[in-house]
Amino acid sequence: MKLLEYQGKKLFEENGIPVPGGRVISGADEAFEAASSLGTEVALKVQVPVGGRGKAGGIKLAAADKAKDEAEKLLAMEIKGFPVDKLLVEEKIEAAQELYLGVVVDTDSGNVILLFSPTGGVDIEQVAAESPDQVFRLTVDPFAIPPRYRLRYFIRQGGFRGKILEKLTGIAQNLLQLAFNRDLLIAEINPLMILADGRVLAGDAKVEVDDNALFRQQFEGKFWEEQDELEKEAREIGVTYVKLDGNIGVIASGAGLAMTTMDLLEEAGYSPANFLETGGGITEDLLYHSFKLVCKNKGVHSVIINLYGGVNPIEKGAKGVVRAMGEMTDPPVVVAKALGNKQEECWEVFKSGGVAVVTEVGTEAAVKELLALLDENKPA
């Protein structure tokens, strides 16, 4: 679950991480009042759950008396498919130095990593590629946040001393505590701004909460925004779904299977329409709803299913897919690779519903079969 910037900053402020003064607005008429209460000049920032909004023109500086005009333009925008319905109006901040500070979960090792760089304001990946010696990493024990002296030593690598060092150390400590308390997968401040007067403020907030922990977090009210109806439906079904720009639907019983399938499609010159991961609990209803969900994307003309079943018998998932296809007047081309518990029964169910079945272990075979079927079904 990705939070919008203003929501992330609310968490920061509640947990001892200073942020610029700001107000959230949803109408241009509110912009002048908000701007006037913050200063003579403000920054207006669109609130969408994707990166690159600055490059897309979604951040503007304006004098208070021009804030309404700029707000009208920004609220009429759409960025990467997301309509803008909220703006964060913030006091204009002049940073003497921009840093990067983040807590992330390393997906390869599963470790929690504290990242710090004296070079902020740009993608941390770019900094790591161009100046790897300027990105400092600290592996953190999730059961014991490092003591303050250890964090002070870590931050000191960036060349900081005195009061600034103490402030940065405190923010790092608070960010780690927040990440663990709120089950965050990502908590990034970029830029973390040092002002000429010695203040240190979080200029931006990129925060993502582990979906599997939402049941215990109990955010007050509707703390996050559902920007996509299909992703909202996926959350209700209990699957992880991300809508993409292609036309081949992907359903897999694990994130690794899904990513492998998507990568192979891309290598073959085709684009996936989505990422959908069901998790290990394969049931008839789950696959039924997952298939219907994928096909609600009007651009989908075919679907590739990649299942591996351990404890759960996977033929039940096949029944769900066939049931969903039976309710469609014009079902898409479907290829399924399914291995594991009751795989032979699963294959028969799929075949009975007109699904092409691949029994090889490699996902490459499933992708090859799908592309062959698409070639056969090309209009003359």
Residue 316 main-chain phi, psi, to 5 deg? -65, -40
SS3 38: helix
Q: How much is the pLDDT for 96?
A: 96
The fraction of the chain above a pLDDT of 70, given in percent, is 95
What superfamily would CATH give domain 229-372?
Succinyl-CoA synthetase domains (3.40.50.261)
CA gap 313, 65 in Å, rounded: 65
- Burial class of residue 215 in the structure, from the number of CB atoms within 10 Å of its CB (0-12 exposed, 13-18 middle, 19+ buried): exposed
> Domain map of the chain by residue range?
21-91, 95-217, 229-372
Please identify every stretch of the chain with a pLDDT value under 50, giving residue numbers as ranges.
Answer: 221-225, 380
CA angle, residues 340, 342, 343, in degrees to nearest 5: 60
Among the residues of 94-193, which ranges form H helices?
124-130, 148-156, 162-181
Topology (CATH) of 95-217? D-amino Acid Aminotransferase; Chain A, domain 1 (3.30.470)
The pTM (predicted TM-score) of the whole model is 0.65
**In contact, 282 and 309? CB cutoff 8 Å:** yes
CA gap 55, 265 in Å, rounded: 29
Q: 196-200: long-range contacts at Cβ-Cβ below 8 A with a sequence spacing of 24 or more?
A: 196/94, 196/96, 198/163, 198/164, 198/167, 199/18, 200/18, 200/164, 200/167, 200/168, 200/171
**In contact, 48 and 82? CB cutoff 8 Å:** yes
229-372 matches 95-217 in CATH topology: no
pLDDT tens, residue by residue, 100-144: 999 998 866 778 999 999 998 877 878 888 888 999 999 999 888
Q: What is the sign, positive or negative, of the torsion defined by CA atoms of 75, 77, 82, 83? A: positive
Q: What would the CATH number be for the domain defined by 21-91? A: 3.30.1490.20
Q: How much is the pLDDT for 117?
A: 96
Could you please report the per-residue DSSP string of 226-294? ---HHHHHHHHHT-EEEE-SSSEEEEESSHHHHHHHHHHHHHTT--BSEEEE--S---HHHHHHHHHHH
Active-site residues, by number, are 100, 188
Among the residues of the chain, which ranges form H helices?
5-14, 29-38, 67-75, 124-130, 148-156, 162-181, 214-217, 229-237, 255-267, 284-295, 315-326, 343-352, 363-376
Q: How much is the pLDDT for 366?
A: 95
Q: How much is the pLDDT for 233?
A: 85
Q: How much is the pLDDT for 53?
A: 86
Q: Which amino acid is at 217?
A: Q
Q: How much is the pLDDT for 238?
A: 85
Q: Any idea what DSSP says for residue 26?
A: S
Q: What is the sign, positive or negative, of the torsion defined by CA atoms of 270, 273, 278, 283? A: negative
